[in-house]
C-alpha cells in the first residue's frame, strides 16, 4: 500500500467518522421527537408552562434515555462485532458467537421462572429481585462464555473455540426452551426479550452502558495491533513477538463484557454486530484500531435508526426493534453476497 493510498484511506476514515457523528446528532433530535404526540411535547417544554412538567417527563425521562440507550447498545454490539471478526478472522463472526446470547436467554428464563415459582425462600426471592432480569441476563451471558472457554480448553485453538461456542449456544438454547415449556406464563416476557427492545432503557441503563463502552473502546484500541497481526496469520503474529494467548484472552473478555452489557439492557438484537463492520469496510479499508471505533459508531447509528423506525412505522404501536435490525441487516448482507457473486 503506497503512502498516497494510506493517506486517502485515512481521510476516508475521518470523513466516515464525522458523517456517523453527524448522523447520530440528527437521529437523536428525531428520536426526541418521535412518539405518540410527536414534536408537541418538545415545544411544550419551552412554550406552555402548564404542560411543561408533563412534557419534560416524557422527553427527558422516556425519550432521551431511550434514544441515547439505543445508540450505546448499538455501539457496544458494533464494537464486539469488529473484535469478533478480527479475532476469529471470519467476516461472518458476530458478538453472539461464543454462546453469550443463549446464556443471556437462559439467565432470563431462570429468573422469570423463579419469580413466579411457589415455595421460593424469602432470601432467594429477595436476591432474585435485587439481581433483576438485567443482572440475570448479564450473568448468563458471561457464564456461557466461560463455559465455552472451558470446553475449548482455553483460547489457543480458534476452531475448537468456535465449535464450543456453537455447542454451548445450542444446548443452552434448548434448556431455555425447556424452562419456557415448563413455565408457560413466562412466554410473553421471553418473546419480548428474544425480539429485543429499547423501550425499557432508563438513565441508569445508559450510565452502565457508557461506563462499559468507554473502557472497552480504549482497551480494544490498545489491543488492535493484535488483530492486525492475526489478520496476517497466527504464525506471522507470533514472529512479531505478540503473546497471543494472553492478548486473545483479553479480547475474548472484552467481547463478552460488551456483548453481555448490551444484551442485558436490550435483549437479543440481531445483525447489528455483524453488519456494522461490513458497512465500515465497504467504505474504507483501515487498521483494526480505526475499524473498531468506526464499527462502534456505525452500530450505534444503525440501532438508533432501527429504534426510530420501530416507534414510527405503525405508531402509536411499536415494532420489536430486533425484527427491524434482522430485516435490514439480513437484507444488506444478502445484497452484499449477491453483489460479490455477480
In a domain, residue 50? The reply is no
What pLDDT sits at residue 211? Answer: 93
pLDDT digits (tens, 9 = 90+) for 220-233: 998 888 887 777 66
Residue 107, all three cell numbers: 439467565
Residue 248, all three cell numbers: 486473545
The pLDDT mean for the chain works out to 81
Q: Higher model confidence: residue 300 or residue 49?
A: 300
Q: What is the DSSP string of 286-338?
A: --HHHHHHHHHHHHHHHHHHHHHHHHHTTTTS---HHHHHHHHHHHHHHHHHH
In a domain, residue 174? The reply is yes
Evaluate if residue 254 carries a pLDDT over 60. Answer: yes
Length of the chain in terms of residues written? 342
How many CB atoms within 10 Å of residue 181?
9
Among 42-56, 68-82, 154-168, 262-276, name the most confident range: 68-82
How many helices (H) and strands (E) are present in the chain, helices listed first?
A: 15, 0
In a domain, residue 124? The reply is yes
> DSSP character for 157?
-
In a domain, residue 201? The reply is yes
Cis bond before residue 316 (omega within 30° of 0):
yes
Domain count, the chain: 1
Tell me the C-alpha distance between 61 and 204, whole Å. Answer: 11
pLDDT digits (tens, 9 = 90+) for 19-59: 999 999 999 988 888 765 555 555 555 555 455 666 677 77
Lowest-pLDDT choice from 47-61, 78-92, 328-342: 47-61
In a domain, residue 288? The reply is yes
In a domain, residue 7? The reply is no
Which CATH number is 275's domain given? 1.10.3470.10
Evaluate if residue 246 carries a pLDDT over 80. Answer: no
The boundaries of the domain holding residue 179 are: 71-341
Banded model confidence at residue 123, pLDDT cuts 50, 70, 90: very low
> DSSP character for 25?
H
In a domain, residue 40? The reply is no
Task: Quote the pTM value.
Answer: 0.87
Task: Give the residue carrying C-alpha cell 443482572.
Answer: 135
What pLDDT sits at residue 313? Answer: 82
What pLDDT sits at residue 48? Answer: 55
In a domain, residue 152? The reply is yes
What pLDDT sits at residue 286? Answer: 84
Amino acid at each position: 500500500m503506497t503512502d498516497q493510498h494510506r493517506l486517502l484511506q485515512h481521510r476516508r476514515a475521518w470523513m466516515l467518522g464525522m458523517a456517523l457523528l453527524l448522523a447520530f446528532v440528527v437521529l437523536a433530535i428525531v428520536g426526541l421527537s418521535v412518539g405518540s404526540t410527536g414534536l408537541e411535547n418538545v415545544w411544550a417544554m419551552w412554550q406552555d408552562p402548564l404542560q411543561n412538567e408533563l412534557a419534560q417527563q416524557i422527553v427527558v425521562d422516556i425519550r432521551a434515555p431511550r434514544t441515547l440507550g439505543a445508540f450505546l447498545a448499538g455501539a457496544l454490539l458494533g464494537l464486539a462485532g469488529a473484535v469478533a471478526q478480527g479475532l476469529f478472522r471470519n467476516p461472518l463472526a458476530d458478538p453472539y458467537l461464543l454462546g453469550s446470547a443463549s446464556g443471556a436467554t437462559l439467565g432470563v428464563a431462570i429468573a422469570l421462572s423463579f419469580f413466579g415459582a411457589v415455595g421460593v425462600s424469602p432470601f432467594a426471592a429477595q436476591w432474585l429481585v435485587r439481581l433483576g432480569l438485567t443482572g440475570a441476563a448479564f450473568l448468563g451471558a458471561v457464564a456461557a462464555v466461560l463455559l465455552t472457554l472451558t470446553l475449548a480448553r482455553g483460547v489457543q485453538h480458534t476452531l475448537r473455540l468456535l465449535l464450543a461456542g456453537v455447542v454451548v449456544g445450542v444446548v443452552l438454547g434448548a434448556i431455555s426452551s425447556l424452562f419456557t415449556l415448563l413455565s408457560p406464563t413466562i412466554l410473553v416476557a421471553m418473546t419480548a426479550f428474544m425480539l429485543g427492545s429499547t423501550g425499557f432503557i432508563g438513565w441508569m441503563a445508559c450510565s452502565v452502558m457508557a461506563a462499559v463502552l468507554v473502557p472497552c473502546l480504549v482497551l480494544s484500541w490498545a489491543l488492535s495491533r493484535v488483530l492486525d497481526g492475526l489478520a496476517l496469520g497466527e504464525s506471522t503474529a507470533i514472529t512479531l513477538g505478540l503473546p497471543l494467548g494472553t492478548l486473545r484472552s483479553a479480547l475474548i473478555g472484552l467481547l463478552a463484557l460488551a456483548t453481555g452489557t448490551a444484551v442485558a439492557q436490550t435483549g437479543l438484537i440481531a445483525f447489528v454486530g455483524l453488519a456494522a463492520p461490513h458497512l465500515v469496510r465497504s467504505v474504507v479499508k483501515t487498521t483494526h484500531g480505526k475499524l473498531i471505533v468506526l464499527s462502534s459508531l456505525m452500530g450505534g447509528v444503525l440501532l438508533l435508526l432501527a429504534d426510530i423506525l420501530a416507534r414510527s412505522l405503525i405508531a402509536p404501536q411499536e415494532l420489536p426493534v430486533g425484527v427491524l435490525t434482522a430485516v435490514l441487516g439480513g437484507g444488506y448482507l444478502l445484497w452484499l453476497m449477491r453483489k460479490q457473486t455477480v
